[in-house]
Structures are given as structure tokens and as C-alpha cells.
Amino acid sequence: MNNIITLGQFIIEKQAQFPYAKGELSRLLRDIGIAAKIVNREVNKAGLMDILGSAGSTNIQGESQQKLDVYANTQFISALTSGGECCIVASEENEDIIRIDSAVSKSARYIVAIDPLDGSSNIDVNVPVGTIFSIYRRISKESLPGLPDVLQKGTEQVAAGYIIYGSSTMLVYTTGHGVNGFTLDPSIGEFCLSHPQMKIPETGTIYSINEGNYVHFPEGVKQYIKYCQVEDVKSCRPYSSRYIGSMVADLHRNLIKGGIFIYPNTAAAPSGKLRLVYECNPLAFVVEQAGGRATNGFSRILDLEVNQLHQRSPIFIGSNHMVMKAEAFMAGNKSKRQIGETTLQIS
């Protein structure tokens, strides 16, 4: 490979885009990259070690934690703590925020929200998993940093991205100036720029949704799925249904090839299932910067008010034209609410 640009070099070169920063954001992104390498090492040898299966505990959402969930969470928190540029870490695996007192004493100015291992239930069957991260500037000035620093709208993110641990390991991130992807070269142990200025196609032929929950979906989602399945040569339909069950993996594929990922609300999860702080906001920031669109079916994800640390939201995310089409179906059924298989009119 000619003219190799490593993640560290790239971050330093782009430092001028942040006149208010003095290298802290660059170091913070490098800390995330280091932790990703450690987690990648364990993911790649998971079948050879006793780190598969349940850890025998549950997270704040009541979901069974996998051993690698706990390991990844520990590694990212450790890297962010020792780095000294982050005063608060908010993890999907922890009930409360983690204030880093040593960093606070040094007036650290950044907040990191992280989903350490998205799709970890798939690790036992060798399906790609990932890490999602989001970075905000601290808004508390005179007081100790706290929950309000984390509960900022997605529009306030200064950086966000994901790492996908698959056939190759990639780190994809944005700082609001486009999206760039870096592939880990195991021969030198560095993330190298492989996908500069990533752009999602305006439309695609892939829709990603867990159709096993079809009967519980809102009517607008049901109609959109039927639309995707109807043959139409001009619009390249029927579309292909591709659902991995790891949001990072599904979104990464659609980012490159074009497509839509949908995780709607259901009767069992009326507010949706995915977490706004840890999953929806960071990935919405990435996709918008790549030219795509992300909404909850009616409103832009990044504009949603954040009221709770583990707040949930439906999400429609991907190629601009496909998301807009899904929104049109949702808008056409806005006066209806789907409960099980019964559609009720709301006055």
C-alpha cells in the first residue's frame, strides 16, 4: 500500500478543524483506537479462550451480559480513564455515569458515551460485532460534571463513530467534517485510512429489519415492508432483506452499499428498543455526515430531546431516499397505533 496514513497521523492532520481544542480531542480518539485494538484481539481469539457465553449477570436494561460485554466495557473505561481527556464515561452496560475524578481535577473537557460491544449475543456464532462511541464537550463550567453533560442533543456531538470487528476490523468516525474509515493492519498494529470521505448511496436495494416481529410493527412499517417486496423494475424492487442482528454490521453494510435499517417501536417496546445516547445519536451523526438520513419515523434523531441516560427510540436510518419513503408510509398512518395484530384508530 502506497502513502499509508495511520489513524494517528490523520487525526493530527485534521486538528486544525478544531481551533477551540488543544490536542485533547485527538488524544481522546487515539485512546478509543487503542482500546479497540485490545478488544479486537480478544474477539479474534474468543473461540480459543474461556470468554464466550454469558457472564451470569445482567445490565441496566435487564439484558444478559456476555463475558465479552464485560471485558470490552472494562477496556474502554480503563483507556478513557487513563487517557485523562475525558471527565465522564457513560456506558450502556452501567446504570450510572462514571465520573473520572483524576481527569476532573485537570479540567478535562470531554464526555464519552459508549456501547462497548454491540451485537455481543452473536459472538458465539462468529457474527460481526462492534463498538459505538459518541463524544460531547462538557457544558458544566463552575460545577462538577454530571448527568446534564451527558443528556445533550445529538446535534451537540463533536465526534462519533463505530468499530466493526469482522473479516477485517474497521474504525469509522466523523467529527462533523465527513466520514472516514480506517482498517486495522495486523502486520503493523495500526488503523490505516482505507475509506476516505465515505458517502452512502442516495438509495439502495437492501432493507434491514427483524421481520420476525412483523405482526407487532406499526402499520406504516408493515406497509413499507410490503412496498419493498413488490416488484417494480424502475425502482429495482423487490429489495433484498438482509438482517444480521448486529446494528453496527447492518449499518456498515448499508453505508457502503446503500440501504435502510429499521428498528421500530412495537407493542412490547412502545418507545423502541435501541438506546438514543449510545446507539441512535452516534450512528445518526455518522450517517448524516455521509449524506444519509436518520429519524424516529417522524422526527430527526439528532433533534430529539434527551431526558434519560438509557432513553430508547425507534430508528429509521440509511440512504436518504429510502428513509424518506419509509417516513411517508409512517406519516400516512400517523392516526393509527398498532397493538399486536389489531389496528386502533386514535381520535
Residues at the binding site for Mg(2+) are 92, 115, 117-118, 279
Residue 53: alpha-carbon gap to chain centroid: 23
Answer yes or no: are the C-beta atoms of 250 and 192 closer than 8 Å: no
Binding residues for substrate: 118-121, 210, 243, 273
| Three-state secondary structure readout of the chain | CCCCCEHHHHHHHCHHHCCCCCCHHHHHHHHHHHHHHHHHHHHHCHHHCCCCCEEEEECCCCCEEEHHHHHHHHHHHHHHHHHCCEEEEEECCCCCCEECHHHHCCCCCEEEEEEEEECHHHHHHCCCEEEEEEEEECCCCCCCCCHHHHCCCHHHEEEEEEEEECCCEEEEEECCCCEEEEEEECCCCEEEEEECCCCCCCCCCEEECCHHHHHHCCHHHHHHHHHHHCCECCCCECCEECCCCCHHHHHHHHHHHCCEEEECCCCCCCCCCEEHHHHHHHHHHHHHHCCCEEECCCCEHHHCCCCCCCCEECEEEECHHHHHHHHHHHHHCCCEEEECCEEEECC
- Rounded Cα–Cα distance for residues 151 and 306 (Å): 5
Q: Which residue has the cell 389489531?
A: 342
Q: Which residue has the cell 423487490?
A: 238
Q: Which grid coordinates belong to 40?
A: 479486537
Binding residues: 92, 115, 117-121, 210, 243, 273, 279
